[in-house]
Structures are given as structure tokens and as C-alpha cells.
Structure 1
Amino acid sequence: MSTPAERLAGLGLTLPEVVAPLAAYLPAVRTGDLVYTAGQLPLVDGKLEVTGRLGAEVTPEQGRELARICALNALAAAASVVDGDLSRIVRIVKVVGFVAGTPDFTGQPQVVNGASELLGEVLGDAGRHARSAVGVASLPLSAPVEVELIAEVR
């Protein structure tokens, strides 16, 4: 059986550095056996490569890939409060995905699937979770997608 770190490597991915907060908050907080992450934007090396809204400047396929990046950043934030070890994640309990879109864009679930699928690929059954996919008018830095999660850890 492979570890989450091995599955991540098998996908050609590495856990990124934790994204620095944009304001007065922590990237992740552990309370008891739960870790709550702050909303994670699709930042790579500290910058957004794509900005805009789904249904206008951003395609659903791009949004799905951006949601994967958000989920990877959320895993990094969660791991940061459990000694950097993804194996300490027992289960992803809940994912909330925010999708900035035009008023007529209704593909939020398909966009946030990018995050959900990555979590399943990395964590197996422990990555299956409850989820909300919410459409919003705008997000910080004009990001198209933001993802936060709650994880049970040991």
C-alpha cells in the first residue's frame, strides 16, 4: 500500500510551501483531531497564473485545474500543523469550494470536482468527503477559485 506522499509523487506533484496569508489569519488551525484550513487560492510560487471569472475569461477546464492547485495548497496547509506528514490525515471531512463566475455560470460542482478528485487520488478513501460548491461574484486577487477543507487527523 502506498503512502499519500508516494501517491502525490506518482502524480508528478510535490507538496508546495504553505501559501503565506493575505491578511490577518493562519493558513491552518488544529483543534483536537480536526484541522481547518483557510481558503486556499490557486497560487503557484506566490502568484496567480490565471485571473477572472468562470463563464467569461476562465474556462471550466481551467477552473477544474485551478481547483486542483487550491486542493494541493490546502493539503500543504493541513500538513503544516501535523509535522508535514500527509499520512496523519485520517479523513477529509468537508470541502468548500468557491467559484467566481458570471451570473449565468452554473458549473460550480464540475469545477470543484478538480479539488475533490485530487484529494481522492492522494488520500484514497480518506480523501472522500462532504462538499459544498458555491458561486460567488468575486474572490481575492481576482482568483477564479478558492478551496478550504476540514480534515480529521491523528
Structure 2
Amino acid sequence: MSASARLEALGLTLPEVATPVGTYVPAKAHGDLVYTSGQLPLVDGELLAVGVVGQRSGDVSPERALECARACILNALAAVANASGGLDSIVSIVKITGFVASAPGFTAQPAVINGASGVLADVFGESGRHARSAVGVASLPLGAPVEIELIAQVRTLA
């Protein structure tokens, strides 16, 4: 089954590629690799949540942050697909780097980024298994709780 068919079977769709808020491109191809810029949890142009992730009152819950990671990775896949000729041009997910705006003492960044890793495994199977970093940071652009970068191997364009 193709990646696009798996995505559809999961009830997921790729969003429109987000317009950059600075002087950069959403994704850049180099040989058979496509690198994305950091992707935020934007859905229909709005952040799914704002703030730091933690367990205190007013923090973004780890569960909500996991949903944000899922949105980030769909945005990253959309950027790769746009730069490479479609979702089915992706051969393998090489690496993701996840940034989690973390409240003091919050150490479950890997659990948050599992939201993205799970989507990749569901959509690409074994080809979705990847190297990964999950990093806690003080803040992220626009107050987002999660930001993700993706590196994918794609079929080279003829």
C-alpha cells in the first residue's frame, strides 16, 4: 500500500504548505534528501496550542503537545511532498528533530515527539523508522509548544 493510501486509511490529509513567516523556504531538496524548516502545529493557519508543556496549571498538557507533534509532522510531510513531487516520492524518513517548549522540570520531551514518530510509522511502515532528537527549549516561535524538522530521502526527479 502506498504512503498516500495509508494516510487516507488513517483518516489524515496533508495540509496546505504553511507560508513562511520569515526569509526561508518550507523545504529544500539536495540530491535525494529533502530538509524541512521547522514546522509548527498550525491547522488552518492557527496554532493548536500556545505555551510551554508541563504539568502545572496553565501549561499545555503532554497529551495536547502530542497532538501538536502530530500536526507538526503532517505540515513537514506536506512541505516535503510539495518539494519532491508528492507524498509517494518519499522513500524513507531519515531523521526528525523535535523541539518542545518545556516548563521547568518537564522531562518527557521524547513522549511528546512520539506523536510525530507514530504518524511516520503508520504512514511509511519500516521506511518511517528514523533517527531522532527530542529537545526541551525555553520558548518557540509564536509561542508554539512544539516545532519539528524533518529530513526525508526521496526519489530523485528526472
Give, in whole Å, the separation in 2 of the partners of 1:19 and 1:118.
19
Equivalences, count: 152
Q: Compute the TM-score of the two structures, normalised by the length of structure 2.
A: 0.94
Q: Is the 8 A contact 2:48 2:68 kept in 1?
A: no
RMSD, aligned CA: 0.8
Aligned-partner SS, 2:28: strand
Question: Residue 87 of structure 1: CA displacement?
Answer: 1.4
The yes-or-no answer on 1:122 pairing with 2:99 is: no
Q: Please list every run of 5 or more consecutive structure 2 residues that lacks an aligned counterpart in the other structure.
A: none
1:46 equivalent in structure 2: 45
Give, in whole Å, the separation in 1 of the partners of 2:94 and 2:12.
23
Give, in whole Å, the separation in 2 of the partners of 1:123 and 1:21.
26
1:17 equivalent in structure 2: 16
2:75 equivalent in structure 1: 73
Aligned-partner SS, 2:124: helix
Q: Identity of counterpart residues, as a percentage?
A: 61
Aligned-partner SS, 2:84: coil
Give, in whole Å, the separation in 2 of the partners of 1:101 and 1:95.
18
Question: Residue 18 of structure 1: CA displacement?
Answer: 0.3
The yes-or-no answer on 1:151 pairing with 2:152 is: yes
Q: Which amino acid aligns with 2:23?
A: A
Give, in whole Å, the separation in 2 of the partners of 1:118 and 1:34.
20
Q: Compute the TM-score of the two structures, normalised by the length of structure 1.
A: 0.96
Q: Which amino acid aligns with 1:29?
A: K
